[in-house]
Amino acid sequence: MRSRGSSIASNPVLIGAATVLVIIVAMFLSYNANAGLPFVPSYQLKLDAPSAAALVKGNEVRIGGTRVGAVDSITTKRLKNDTSVAVIGLKLERDVKPLPKDSTVIIRPKSALGLKYVQISRGRSKDGYEDGDTIPLSASKPTEVEFDEFVNMFDDATRPAMQENLRGFGDAFAGRGESINTALGVLPALLRDIQPVAKNLSNPDTHLKRFFNELGDAARIVSPAAEAQANLFVNLDKTFAALDPVAKPFIQDSITEGRPALDQAIKSFPVQRPFLRNTEGLFHDLRPGVAALRTAAPDLADTFQVGTRTLRRSPPFNHRLASLLKELQRFGNDPVAPRGVKRLAETLETLNPTLQYLAPTQLQCNYVTLWFRNVSSLLSEGDVHGTWQRFIIIATPQGPNNEGGPSSAPANGPTSDNYLHSNAYPNTGSPGQTKECEAGNEPFPAGRKVIGNVPGKQPDRTEGVK
């Protein structure tokens, strides 16, 4: 009797399970094929690159066109100078190890559809990167402009703008073939003359780079006024339209004759520099006078009008004045005259403090004028035989030490009138004094003695002064 045996081939369930397992393993291996087969040892490196350049995880890493690994991770890192770099994790085959430290790396396109890969050019250094090391930023080559970047430049906003530019250039060149031919004819001479200009511009001392940077800043500053600038060009169009009738021959002749004028200016301007420098200083010094001239213009106009008549009478007057000037010249040449002028200056310098002290007596308080008025009034009464002096007898107060006779002390009562009031030096606003006209304005304090200035401030004007 033969025993019944069991096998996998005779069991459909086991066959199906084995088939599913094989399919799952195959799918797992296929999915992870780009990142390397599992359980296979690999060579791990990191790459600092200026930009990931649209790399994605799983993109190939090639050496000499042969695939040697894949991109395992992509992150970013911030440097101390506030810039950021891409940190690309590379999972390479063990055969690549060690990668020489003078190797270079560049990210290149794999197809026109935008797929990228990392291209490594092996160096010749004997020192290599260990597992887990980082390839520095200096190993990354400058990335050329790739086809996908060039195509991405023509986005939705750029394409209509290019169409408008082409349409505008077409309209600009329409009907101007003769002028273009003329321009092409003189272009060789222009290129010949522009060579020294280009040399000057390329000189580092010219700082052309800084000029464009500043030009960009200027454009940024004036950007809020873009609408006003657009209106400026609209108004310029109107202006040029108005100038069109005189463009030929007047404006054309001015341009033609402009070159000889500029050549002459190049020769004459260096000679004129001292004159222009002195003129600048002159006008700088004239600024205060010109500013004051604005308010004085009406008076100057009247002066010129009156002065015209006066100048006609000046020649006869100058003839008569000649003898006087000759006498003054003889007087100036006299050796005694300077000594006399010096003595006069010393006298005026000596009188200056006194005059400054006495000037407020008249200028502030009008005392001198009032004195002469009162003197004339004193002798204004009279008859056919002459004038006489007007006066009034005032009786002295009664009491000891009154003003009617000798006294041993200032009068001090007992009656309310028998008090001495004396102010030998009343204030007139002179230097060191209170600004008041005390004489003739001081009050009469009854019932008390007052010697010197009356307490309180008196008016700073007297009769006849406003």
Average pLDDT over residues 303-310: 84
| DSSP state, residue 461 | -
Band the pLDDT of 290: cuts 50, 70, 90.
confident
**Amino acid 31: pLDDT:** 59
Asked which of 12-21, 29-38, 241-250, 342-351 is least confident by mean pLDDT, the reply is 29-38
Calculate Rg over the CA atoms of the chain.
56
Residue in the block written with tokens 């273009």: 180
Give the pLDDT score at 34.
54
In 3D space, the residue among 425, 426, 423, 418 whose CA is nearest the CA of residue 448 turns out to be 418
pLDDT for 197: 85
Q: Is the pLDDT of residue 330 over 80?
A: yes
pLDDT at 453 > cutoff 80:
yes
Question: What pLDDT is attached to residue 11?
Answer: 66
As a whole number, mean pLDDT of residues 148-175 equals 81
Q: Which segment of 14-23, 33-42, 420-429 scores lowest on mean pLDDT?
A: 33-42
pLDDT computed for residue 144 by the predictor: 66
In this prediction, residue 443 carries a pLDDT of: 83
Tokens 């004094």 sit on residue: 433
Given a contact cutoff of 8 angstroms between Cβ atoms, the answer to whether 365 and 439 are in contact is yes
Question: In the predicted model, is pLDDT for residue 223 greater than 60?
Answer: yes
More confident residue, 149 or 54: 54
Mean pLDDT is lowest, of 30-44, 149-163, 333-347, for 30-44
Residue 466: what pLDDT? 45
- Strongest mean pLDDT among 351-355, 366-370, 394-398: 351-355
Q: What is the mean pLDDT of residues 313-338?
A: 84
pLDDT on residue 28: 63
| Residue 446 one-letter amino acid | A
Pairwise pLDDT comparison (340 vs 145), residue with the higher score:
340
Instruction: Report helix angle 258-333 to 336-363, nearest 10.
Output: 90
Residue 123: Cβ-neighbour burial (10 angstroms; 0-12, 13-18, 19+)? middle
Closest CA to 444 of 397, 404, 408: 397
Residue 27 predicted with pLDDT over 80: no
Q: What is the mean pLDDT of the chain?
A: 81
Q: Residue 2: its pLDDT value, please?
A: 46
Q: In this predicted model, what pLDDT tens digit does every residue of 91-149 receive, in sequence order?
A: 888 888 888 889 989 888 877 667 888 888 888 888 888 888 888 888 887 666 666 66
Q: Encode 146-169: b = buried (16+ Cβ within 10 Å), e = exposed.
A: bebeeeeeeeeeeeeeeeeeeeee
pLDDT mean over 343-362: 85
Confirm if 140 and 120 have CB atoms less than 8 A apart. no
